[in-house]
Amino acid sequence: MKKPIRFTYSNGLRCLLIPQKDSLTVTVAVLVAAGSKYETKEINGLSHFLEHMCFKGTKKRPYPIDIAGELDGMGAQYNASTGHEYTTYYAKVRNNSFKKALDVVSDLYLNPVFHKEDIEIERGVIIEEINMYEDTPPRKVEELFYELVYGDQPAGWSIAGTKENIKKLTQEDFITYREKNYLPESTVVFVAGNFNPTVAHKEIGKYFSNLSRGTKMKKPKVKESQIKPKELIYQKNVEQTHLVLGVRAFDLRDKRRFALEVLSEILGGGMSSRLFKKVRDELGAAYYVRSGTDLFSDHGFLSVAAGVDNKKVKIVINAVLDEMRSLKDNLVSEVELEKAKEHLVGGVFLNADTSDSIGYFYGMQEIMDMPLSSPEDMAKKVKAVTPKEVRDVARKIFVNNRLNLALVGPLENESFLDILKI
């Protein structure tokens, strides 16, 4: 697979063109380095709220129905999302609708109007979204885990923010934050799928090349400090306990990243993984159990998540810890290692098979200021991981002063710190 056509406009805006001549679709997206880590505590939740407001109206399309109606009318899949480090807006359409999709997506990014009456209406929408997360234990426990690991700093705050903040954010807050963050030098536009690169280059320049540079806000560096295992329990009367048990790891640019990904895959990356076999197939204690990594610009972690029989919480925690210890103490077999690598590589290639997926594969790397690696490049690095490298990473991260446990469930007056040791 060829790497993207990459170019930078004179104002600093970056563009990736990823042609796929056999694709039936084209995806247009704008990514901007503006997420919850760029917020202060007083405006926590603003990045996400602003993303919502871009769909409430623009100078060219003043009402939400103007935006949604136009996108629906071209049969588009479209949305936006806010993360810790960037926000993205996209539309995926049939090939013949590329110019229309670019016109709408660029308008969302360039020309939101933030009418006061629309802000008031959308407050209720955001609050109900927060309520939904509160009532969704698998989502709630993930937020608790971030809070437990990173504490009272942007990396530990909810992306959606607090209800108190949502109720008081003003039009001026939106305008000021956008002026400091939605800048060409912190923005990436990508087009992926079946399109004419020459036309795309010209059209993107028409919309974005006249943007003025500015002074980008800097996000604070994540502070990490831990001397012993920690837990955070959220009491809730639910039918199963949801837990996240994880360890601090390292950032997205660390050379050990690929060994970490293989380690996670062995631990809980598929239906033949160690934890799936133990927790689901042998203990019958959970429907879902999985491990994964979350790696950012200056920090990261590996975690195991599971929805567990309320009577088997301690058994499952011990099972996870046992597998962590085993990976520290023993080299994985070549057979198990090869299976994990193939599953991991297969996921990379399967996810790169559509215009939106391959676009985000490269777009995420670009917005995070990483050298662009193709799926083939990723596969080579995964394939090169050795049993010793997996064990070395396990020995580095599976230690008590990196260990954290968050739980949501009917766990009044319970604690698991006595067994929380590796």
pLDDT over threshold 70, residue 193: yes
Query: What value does the mean pLDDT take over residues 81-94?
Result: 98
- Give all strands of the β-sheet with 14-19 in edge-to-edge order: 5-8, 14-19, 187-193, 25-32, 87-94, 77-82
Query: What value does the mean pLDDT take over residues 266-276?
Result: 97
Contact 109, 54 (CB under 8 A): yes
pLDDT over threshold 70, residue 1: no
Among 312, 146, 133, 131, CA closest to 244: 146
Taking every pair of Cα atoms in the chain, the longest distance, rounded to a whole number of angstroms, is 64
Query: What value does the mean pLDDT take over residues 235-240?
Result: 96
pLDDT for res 71: 98
Query: What value does the mean pLDDT take over residues 7-17?
Result: 96
- Give all strands of the β-sheet with 230-235 in edge-to-edge order: 230-235, 403-409, 240-248, 300-309, 286-295
The chain-wide mean pLDDT, for the chain, equals: 97
Distance separating alpha carbons of residues 64 and 408, to the nearest angstrom: 37
Cα-only R_g, the chain: 23
**φ/ψ (deg, to 5) at 75:** 70, 30
Query: What value does the mean pLDDT take over residues 382-395?
Result: 98
pLDDT for res 334: 97
As given in the structure block, the two tokens for residue 70 are 């136009």
pLDDT for res 217: 85
Complete domains list, the chain, with CATH: 5-208 (3.30.830.10), 230-409 (3.30.830.10)
pLDDT for res 3: 84
In the structure, what pLDDT confidence band is assigned to residue 2 with cuts at 50, 70 and 90?
confident
Could you report the per-residue pLDDT of 316-365, keeping only the tens digit for each? 999 999 999 999 999 999 999 999 999 999 999 998 889 999 999 999 99
User: Which residues have a Cβ under 8 Å from the Cβ of 75 and sit 6 or more positions away?
Assistant: 93, 94, 97
> Which range, of 95-104, 117-126, 212-221, 327-336, averages the lowest pLDDT?
212-221
Residues above pLDDT 70, as percent of the chain: 100
Could you report the per-residue pLDDT of 364-378, keeping only the tens digit for each? 999 999 999 999 999
